[in-house]
Structure 1
Amino acid sequence: MVDDGTYTAVLDRVEDDLAVLVLESDREAGGILVVESGLLPADGQHQDALFTVEVREDELVDATYHSERTRQRQESAQSRFDRLSERPDRDE
């Protein structure tokens, strides 16, 4: 059960027309919400898409896709991965 409220949500995956959203509230895990993928904005129906969602009585009331925040988050993750995959200098 997910508490009523507004969350940041990341689309984890879509399976059989169901979207699995991982919810965060003030950087705390808020749970998982499974909804019909058609309830999400079409341009955000891809893995790692970032949304602001409103949940009431375990139902999705509203979802707003954030394309720029999604892009920034993906770039940040890629940058961290690139830094971690670099070989350290032999002197270190």
Structure 2
Amino acid sequence: MAETYTATLDRIVDGQTAVLLLEEDDETVDQHDVDVTTLPSEAQHEGAVLEVAVEASELSEAEYLPEVTQSRKESAQERLDRLSSRLSDRD
């Protein structure tokens, strides 16, 4: 039986291997390395968020979640903006 996770594409190594961080309840629980070409083409970039199914330690399905990807990107940018403004206030 396949297990379903939310996964974030952390990085692409040597242009070939996608390093996926598997998450449960907003916590990283595992790492799964796959050939980047096994992912949907629109999800072949760092920071992409996917819903994946893993069966017998193999990726059996992957669906790109563009709305979640965008939301996380915006949240990260907001955090960076807040931090940089705090640092500039110290001057």
Which residue does 2:3 correspond to in 1? 5
Instruction: Give the structure 2 partner of residue 42 of structure 1.
Output: 41
Aligned Cα root-mean-square deviation (Å): 1.6
- Taking the TM superposition and a 5 Å limit, the aligned residue runs for 1:1-92 are 5-16=3-14, 17-86=16-85, 87-88=88-89
More helix by share: 2
How far apart are residue 26 of structure 1 and its match? 1.6
Structure 1: 5+ residue stretches without partners: none
5+ residue gaps, structure 2, are none
User: Which has the greater radius of gyration?
Assistant: 1
Q: TM-score, normalised by structure 1?
A: 0.86
Aligned-partner residue type, residue 48 of structure 1: G
Matched letter for residue 13 of structure 1: R
Q: For residue 35 of structure 1, what is the amino acid of its counterpart?
A: V
Question: TM-score, normalised on structure 2?
Answer: 0.87
> Once the two structures are aligned, what percentage of the paired residues are identical?
45
- Shift in Å at residue 28 of structure 1? 2.5
